[in-house]
């Protein structure tokens, strides 16, 4: 479904990614954890070519690209099978929810507006926004804006959805409504790669958890192992600091 091999990325002299390898199977929910500055967001952006990696390969069921030499045509073909949900929503402020969701279908996929609107309405219904078709971003809460962002990704029917800390910009009381939509997608078999600090989501939904630090994968495995029997000292320190889990303390 998605293979990421030997991804490297520098910004000036700062080596942000130091040879990352990730395998994502169909229906997997891969959650990436790690402290700020560990390279998590840069990795997602390199996978979708929002940033171009300096070296490495990215492969899906439909394409295999050299990160350094991929052409615009090849990148566009890859992106047709991925969707990105941004931390800060990235909605068009001059368009209502319905047009935000349908825009990619009309402009990117050349779909007629009537068909695109029907699909956009169905996606908004699925994320609980059937009463917000005509609402603009300044009329929506942060949680509602992020659900529009998720609907915009869903409507493209991607092979894999990439989520970059989708709840970090939300007030605490709004986090639950977004996580509820993401859990529903996971139950439906949506393939997802999620950068997040939501440990409960990672425990309940992930098929694999990856812990990153300083541009490297320190540890990876099923959530029941990472959260209760982490093998690496740095993983244990991170989990203690973030969640102070007595189970983790017990098993180490």
At residue 191, what are phi and psi to the nearest 5 degrees? -80, 125
Rounded distance between C-alpha atoms, residue 78 and residue 65, angstroms: 8
pLDDT at residue 28 greater than cutoff 60? yes
Structure tokens, 46: 């390199």
C-alpha radius of gyration, the chain, whole number: 18
Instruction: Give the Cα-Cα-Cα angle 195, 201, 203 (nearest 5 degrees).
Output: 105
Per-residue pLDDT of 95-109, as tens digits, reads: 999 999 999 999 989
pLDDT at residue 252 greater than cutoff 50? no
Mean pLDDT of the chain: 94
User: Residue 63: CB partners within 8 Å, gap ≥ 6?
Assistant: 74, 77, 78, 81
Per-residue pLDDT of 214-231, as tens digits, reads: 999 999 999 999 999 999
Rounded distance between C-alpha atoms, residue 44 and residue 190, angstroms: 17
Q: What is the pLDDT of residue 245?
A: 53
pLDDT at residue 25 greater than cutoff 70? yes
Structure tokens, 129: 């926004």
Rounded distance between C-alpha atoms, residue 195 and residue 100, angstroms: 23
pLDDT at residue 248 greater than cutoff 60? no
Greatest CA separation for the chain = 58
Rounded distance between C-alpha atoms, residue 233 and residue 251, angstroms: 12
Q: Per-residue DSSP letters for 15-59?
A: EEEEEEEEEE-TT-EEEEE--TTSSHHHHHHHHTTSS--SEEEEE
Mean pLDDT (whole number) for 133-156: 97
């Amino acid at each position: 479904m998605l293979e990421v091999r030997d991804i490297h990325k520098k910004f000036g002299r700062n080596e942000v990614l130091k040879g990352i390898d990730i395998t994502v199977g169909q229906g997997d929910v891969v959650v990436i954890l790690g402290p700020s500055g560990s390279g998590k967001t840069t990795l997602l952006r390199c996978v979708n070519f929002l940033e171009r990696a300096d070296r490495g390969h990215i492969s899906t069921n439909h394409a295999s690209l050299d990160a350094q030499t991929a052409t615009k045509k090849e990148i566009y073909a890859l992106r047709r099978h991925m969707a990105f949900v941004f931390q800060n929503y990235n909605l068009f402020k001059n368009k209502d929810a319905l047009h935000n969701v349908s825009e990619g279908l009309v402009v990117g996929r050349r779909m007629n507006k009537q068909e695109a609107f029907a699909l956009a309405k169905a996606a908004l219904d699925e994320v609980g926004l059937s009463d917000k078709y005509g609402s603009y971003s300044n009329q929506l809460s942060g949680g509602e804006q992020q659900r529009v962002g998720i609907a915009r990704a869903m409507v493209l029917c991607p092979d894999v959805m990439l989520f970059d800390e989708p709840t970090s910009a939300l007030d605490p009381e709004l986090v639950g409504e977004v996580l509820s939509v993401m859990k529903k997608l996971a139950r439906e078999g949506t393939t997802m790669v999620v950068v997040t600090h939501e440990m409960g989501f990672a425990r309940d939904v992930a098929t694999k958890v990856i812990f990153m630090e300083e541009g490297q994968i320190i540890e990876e495995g099923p959530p029941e192992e990472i959260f209760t029997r982490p093998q690496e000292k740095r993983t244990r320190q991170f989990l203690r600091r973030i969640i102070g889990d007595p189970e983790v303390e017990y098993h180490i």
